[in-house]
Amino acid sequence: MNSRSRFSTFPRLLLITACFLYQPLGHTEKLTAEGPLPEPSIEHNDRFSEELVHLQTNHNVSFINEIGKMVRQPPYDLVDDFAEGLAVVEIGGKVGFVDETGRMIIQPRYDSALRFSQGLAAVQIGGKWGFLDKTGKMVIPPQYDDADQFSEGLAPVLVGGKWGFIGKTGRIVILPQYDFVFKFSEGLAAFKTGNKVGFIDTTGKIVIQPKYDDCGEFHEELAAVETGGKVGFIGKTG
């Protein structure tokens, strides 16, 4: 499956954080077709996603449940993991969403999409990103240059080359002013200005000044940071 990580900056710090906490860090992926699939005999992901796993065989995708029973064998070209009961699928260069029986819930009419989070999913159409609900209703019209998933009631959006955050109605909560941002985690979000990163709270107030070279998200009250080639962990006061 050709999908790219939404925020691929700081991968080493995220990995260190994951290893330190002995738990996997979730990542947001965009599903979009970028050329032909490889020629596998059988490929599958290494974990069940909401009680289903998808198999890829000779360019066809199928779902099986935890006891190995084939749930459905639909004509999908690509398929992502399930999130909140729905999965992104690609058919003929467009993406939509199916439920856990393989039934198409949101027709494939979008150029790209992210997994559902907090009841909404970011979708791209005509070069712009918006958000729809699980019925397929466009709750926030496509207007952003890029976007990520909702977390803690806020979603990162890119406007005019700068990142900010919106609420679930589409209202700008934190003005686009940052070169890069993470999603919120435990009340804080990493932001990048110039060559340094720091953290803001959900009101946009800078809680930890941008003084680190690199960082990861907060997990269990700690975030990995890098300064001068050295990696350590900070609490929420920095």
What's the pLDDT tens digit per position in 116-168?
999 999 999 999 999 999 999 999 999 999 999 999 999 999 999 999 999 99
In a domain, 234, yes or no: no
Residues 67 and 126 in one domain: yes
H/E stretch holding 97:
strand 94-98
Range list of H helices, the chain = 11-21
Domain boundary among 101, 118, 146: 146
Residues 142 and 158 in one domain: no
Name the residue with higher pLDDT: 237 or 24. Answer: 237
> Per-residue pLDDT averaged across 49-65, rounded?
52
In a domain, 79, yes or no: yes
Residue 8's CB is within 10 A of a number of other CB atoms, namely 9
Domain range for residue 186? 9-28+148-227
Residues 6+ apart with CB under 8 A from 107: 96, 136
DSSP 120: B
**So what's the pLDDT on residue 66?**
60
**So what's the pLDDT on residue 101?**
85
CA-CA-CA-CA torsion for 85, 169, 109, 158, nearest 10 degrees?
Answer: -110
Residues 54 and 86 in one domain: yes
Domain boundary among 146, 161, 184: 146
Give the Cα-Cα-Cα angle 55, 122, 19 (nearest 5 degrees). 60
pTM of the model: 0.75
Percent of the chain with pLDDT over 90: 64
> Per-residue pLDDT averaged across 3-11, rounded?
36
SS (H, E, C) 140-193: EEEEECEECCCECCEEEEEECCEEEEECCCCCEEEEEEECEECCCECCEEEEEE
Domain boundary among 146, 167, 190: 146
Quick check: helix, strand or coil at residue 96?
A: strand
DSSP 34: -
